Structure 1
Amino acid sequence: MFKPAIQQTWVLVTMAVLAVVLFYSASAIQVEHVAGDYDLKIKAAERMTHAMTILKNVRMAEAVFIDDVNDPNHTGLIGRQSSFITTDEGDLDSKISVLDPNVAAMMVQLLRQAGAQSGDTIAITMTGSMPGANLAVYCAIEELKLVPIIMSSLGASQWGANDENFTWLDMEKTLLDSGIISFHSSGASIGGGSDIGRRLSPLGRDLIQQAITRNNIPELEGVDLEDAIQLRMAFFASHLPLSHYKAYINVGGGAAALGSRLTDRLIPAGLTTRMDFDQFPTDGTLVQFGQKRVPILHVLNIREFFNLFGYPYAAVPPPAIGSSELYASTRYSKTATAVALILIMGMVVGVGIKSKRMIRHHLQEHEPDSYV
């Protein structure tokens, strides 16, 4: 009985076997895809490693005890549960997570996505709550050669930079003197509730003001939250028109930055370039920069932030520099996949054409079984 090639068992089996072989061959061929700004990310992470080592050595020289449980990576930079300058409850896992040099590579990536180039000016607000995230931002800025205008609030939540004698500004000064960074905060405030130290004792507020004074940073001292926000906006505008900043970075949950906790729930972690900030019910510095269409880099809600990069949260130990998908990833070869697809399609089309010719030839011979 006549059968065209497409109906012949041996042809179908051969096609199936070849298709399976090509599929598995293409799957087995993988290539390493190097992420953008690989060298800058490595340098930023290495700079942060050096910065953390210098700060740890300072702590060790002061005989500060490292808690193996609360500081499992032995950074020496996890703060205390309580102190005179502790403003709020804090998430220990978040503090552990950002004390990781790879976070500096994340900042490089996000700033590049925001369009930042060498020489661009960026606005920064930060608190003492997450010194690891602050360090990461600083190290990324150094490698990208950006010009930062920084407003720091010294109050810190639990486990942050809440040692009265080693505040965030003291850490900053140590790194400046060591040559790790070439800039420092342009202004500072007490922080805490309403950015005026609410929930702190008079002694706590006085200790923060002493830290601001000993580090020679101008203090922005508002009378309430609204005044603190206005002072910040005037502070940033005095350096550059707000719309001319290339990006705005907020690290932590500073009251004047967010305006209210509602902002934290509305603004996603990471980079935001498109959002209708005009409809926001609050007007902290973050929202006001957003209204000027300045890209917003929001570093809070660290678990969500890490999920943007598929990066492990509160890792012990953290991945080695250069080993995660921040730097490179293994992908299927597009070339091998395309070749396999072309060969399979070519095989199917070829057998189809061959079958059509066989049927036509057989019909021309008028054999009775040609209609089977």
Structure 2
Amino acid sequence: EMVQALQIVRGERLNRGIPIDLVTDPNQTGIIGYEYSEITSTPGELEAKRTTTNPDMAALMVSFFKELGLSRGDIVVVGSSGSFPSLYIACLSACEAMGLAPLSIISLMASEYGANIPGFNFLDMVTALKEAGKTAFYPGAVSIGGESDSGKGVSSDVIGKLETQIESSGLQYFRNPSLKEGTQERLDWLNELIGERPIKAFVNIGGATANVGTDPIFLYLKPGVNHISQYAPFETGGLLYALARQGIPVIHLLYVKGLVAQNGLPWDPIPLPSELSLQRKLLGVSEKAAMATLFLAYWAIALLLRLRGARTLRHRLGLFDRQR
């Protein structure tokens, strides 16, 4: 699923005439952005961005969801900046594989090498996925992102273009520069959508202020699954801590080097692992079990062909009628 989604994004980039830089993106994923652009919010590590394009990131997300005991139909809220579009795709691929119900809020500003290409930003990517039939990847809401979640410091012309794009998308647009009020607006929106149904997990991707807040306590979150017991104040905690206060577990995806080191995935792999590796992990099948299954399938097919061949031969020899 993730491999296919990345191919769609890559194809859309090329269709828009935006070439792939083989120096920054040697695996030619098409999802690595520029070092700097007018919608770049903060510094970013190129190797970290490349690491997240590994299709096994989707398998890792499946393992996190299984660790939390999630099952088909469970609601997962996803808050993602434009800094790690590959992690967003990995997360939504895992949701689709497990039949989960994601509710996503994305922001359009991005750190270096993220979804920071003018004319091919995060919203462009998810729109391409939606138009290719992957509607589950399309978010329910969007914000500008960056400082104060409103692109503070970015030129008014750039903000105007982004707002025009957002308005044409028809998505819920969060634009309140107040962290406290913006957090409450997100909570109200979620409550209106889901009613009494419980949120089973919150996935934070990147470091959007609207999600992680401004309190330095978020720096103590570990990569992956967190069951939070110490909270930032509501005024400074963002959506992550507002949901954690309700007892909702958090999957935190920001410190990529720690994430892969703790989970046995390679750092900056060139080339990327194969799709077959991803499929085995998504299905929870070990390599030996997968090979055994293939072996049995091979012999079953061989036996079937052999029986069909014998039956045909008996017909030719006139033996079939005599045996009935």
TM-score (norm 2): 0.81
Measured after TM superposition, the shift of residue 323 of structure 1 is 4.0
Alignment check: 8 A CA contact 1:167 1:211 kept: no
Report 1:208-247 matches (<5 A): 208-240=162-194, 244-247=198-201
Measured after TM superposition, the shift of residue 289 of structure 1 is 1.2
| 2:256 equivalent to 1:302 | yes
Change (3 A) 1:313 1:105: same
Q: Which residue of 2 aligns with 1:52?
A: 6
Alignment check: 8 A CA contact 2:33 2:113 kept: yes
Q: Which amino acid aligns with 2:190?
A: F
In structure 2, what is the Cα distance between the partners aligned to 1:162 and 1:72? 18
- Aligned-partner SS, 2:151: coil
Q: Which amino acid aligns with 1:328?
A: S
Alignment check: 8 A CA contact 2:232 2:241 kept: no
| 2:239 equivalent to 1:285 | yes
| 2:202 equivalent to 1:248 | yes
| 2:229 equivalent to 1:276 | yes
Measured after TM superposition, the shift of residue 183 of structure 1 is 5.1
| 2:57 equivalent to 1:99 | no
Long gaps (5+) in structure 1? 1-46, 331-372
In structure 1, what is the Cα distance between the partners aligned to 2:33 and 2:170? 23
Quick check: 260-269 or 97-106, which moved more?
A: 260-269
Q: Which amino acid aligns with 1:251?
A: I
- Aligned-partner SS, 2:102: strand
Root-mean-square deviation (CA, aligned residues, Å) is 2.2
In structure 2, what is the Cα distance between the partners aligned to 1:307 and 1:219? 36
State the Cα deviation string for residues 88-136 of structure 1 (Å, max 9, x = none).
1111111111112111111111111112110111111111111100110
Q: Which residue of 2 aligns with 1:116?
A: 70
Change (3 A) 1:125 1:280: same
| 2:25 equivalent to 1:71 | yes
Measured after TM superposition, the shift of residue 242 of structure 1 is 8.5
Measured after TM superposition, the shift of residue 198 of structure 1 is 1.7
Q: Which amino acid aligns with 1:95?
A: K
Tell me the matched-pair count.
Answer: 284
In structure 2, what is the Cα distance between the partners aligned to 1:216 and 1:278? 34
Q: Which residue of 1 aligns with 2:286?
A: 328
Q: Which amino acid aligns with 1:54?
A: I
TM-score (norm 1): 0.71
In structure 2, what is the Cα distance between the partners aligned to 1:279 and 1:81? 32
- Aligned-partner SS, 2:147: coil
State the Cα deviation string for residues 201-240 of structure 1 (Å, max 9, x = none).
2122222212212322121110322222222222222223
Higher relative contact order (CA 8 A, sep 6+): 1
| 2:118 equivalent to 1:173 | no
Long gaps (5+) in structure 2? 289-324
State the Cα deviation string for residues 147-182 of structure 1 (Å, max 9, x = none).
111111111111111122122121111111111343
In structure 2, what is the Cα distance between the partners aligned to 1:320 and 1:303? 21
- Give the structure with higher Rg (CA): 1
Alignment check: 8 A CA contact 1:150 1:187 kept: yes
| 2:211 equivalent to 1:257 | yes
In structure 2, what is the Cα distance between the partners aligned to 1:157 and 1:123? 22
In structure 1, what is the Cα distance between the partners aligned to 2:113 and 2:160? 20
- Aligned-partner SS, 1:149: strand
| 2:20 equivalent to 1:61 | no
Q: Which amino acid aligns with 2:95?
A: I
